[in-house]
């Protein structure tokens, strides 16, 4: 059974999820052990934990790009991105990614929490796996392209919220 944890940053006292794949009966016997490592969830057969991690990374990467686009759009129209971010807190656009990475974007703080070079590793891996299943993921492909361009421009060590710099570069 493989453990695929979500990023722990910003979670406070919330226990980090721990996604597991493998035999369900074995998972249940070991649930107490897994609970020491986080909030365990059996997600399917062997390999499913890793797939869940990739699914998580696609959601995170796509959301970071959507936040970057929204703040770039707001600023290009004359609105203050920091004020727009504050105005959207608590609404449907609000999320942990929006709160944390939106703040990094408006502050211009791209000190690595999750470096872009690791984000592109995960998005590229997910897209490669999708291709083996004859799936096309057009949104994720564009997100991967943006992060790859960020890395190619020498910004791979910046936090993945620095993708806003890539959007503003184009």
Whether residues 36 and 56 share a domain: the answer is no
Same domain, 118 and 132: yes
| Same domain as 79, residue 128 | yes
For residues 77 and 159, membership in a common domain is answered with yes
Q: Is the dihedral of CA 88, 93, 95, 98 positive or negative?
A: negative
Are 93 and 123 in a shared domain?
Answer: yes
At 13 the pLDDT is 54
For residues 54 and 74, membership in a common domain is answered with: yes
What is the CATH number for 81?
1.10.1040.10
pLDDT along the chain (170 residues), means of 10: 40 69 92 90 92 95 98 98 98 97 98 94 97 98 98 97 93
The answer on 64 and 42 residing in a single domain is no
Number of compact structural domains in the chain: 2
Question: Using alpha carbons only, how large is the chain's radius of gyration in Å?
Answer: 18
Do residues 76 and 155 both lie within one domain? yes
Asked whether residue 28 falls in the same domain as residue 91, the answer is: no
Domain extent for 12 = 3-46
- With b meaning 16 or more CB within 10 Å and e meaning fewer, what string describes 99-124? ebbbebbbeeebeeebbbbbbbebbe
Same domain, 25 and 58: no
> Which of helix, strand or coil describes residue 43?
strand
Q: What pLDDT is stored for residue 14 in this prediction?
A: 54
Residue 148 shares a structural domain with residue 70:
yes
Q: How many CA atoms lie within 13 A of 23 on its CB side?
A: 4
Q: What amino acid positions are annotated as catalytic residues?
A: 53
Q: pTM of the predicted model, to two decimals?
A: 0.86
Predicted local distance difference test score (pLDDT) of residue 11: 44
pLDDT at position 6 is 40
80 with 15, same domain? no
In this structure, the strands spanning 39-44 and 17-21 are parallel
């Amino acid at each position: 059974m493989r453990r695929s944890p979500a990023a722990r940053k910003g979670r406070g006292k919330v226990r980090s999820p721990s996604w597991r794949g493998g035999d369900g009966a074995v998972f249940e016997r070991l649930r107490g052990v897994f609970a020491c490592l986080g909030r365990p969830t059996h997600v399917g057969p062997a390999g499913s934990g890793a797939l869940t991690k990739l699914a998580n990374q696609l959601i995170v990467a796509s959301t970071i790009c959507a936040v970057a686009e929204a703040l770039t759009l707001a600023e290009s129209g004359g609105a203050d991105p920091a004020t727009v971010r504050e105005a959207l807190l608590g609404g449907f656009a609000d999320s942990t990614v929006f709160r944390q990475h939106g703040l990094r974007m408006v502050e211009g703080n791209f000190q690595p929490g999750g470096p872009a070079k690791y984000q592109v590793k995960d998005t590229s891996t997910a897209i490669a796996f999708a291709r083996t299943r004859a799936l096309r993921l057009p949104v994720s492909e564009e997100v991967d392209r943006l992060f790859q361009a960020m890395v190619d421009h020498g910004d791979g060590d910046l936090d993945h919220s620095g993708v806003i710099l890539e959007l503003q570069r184009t």
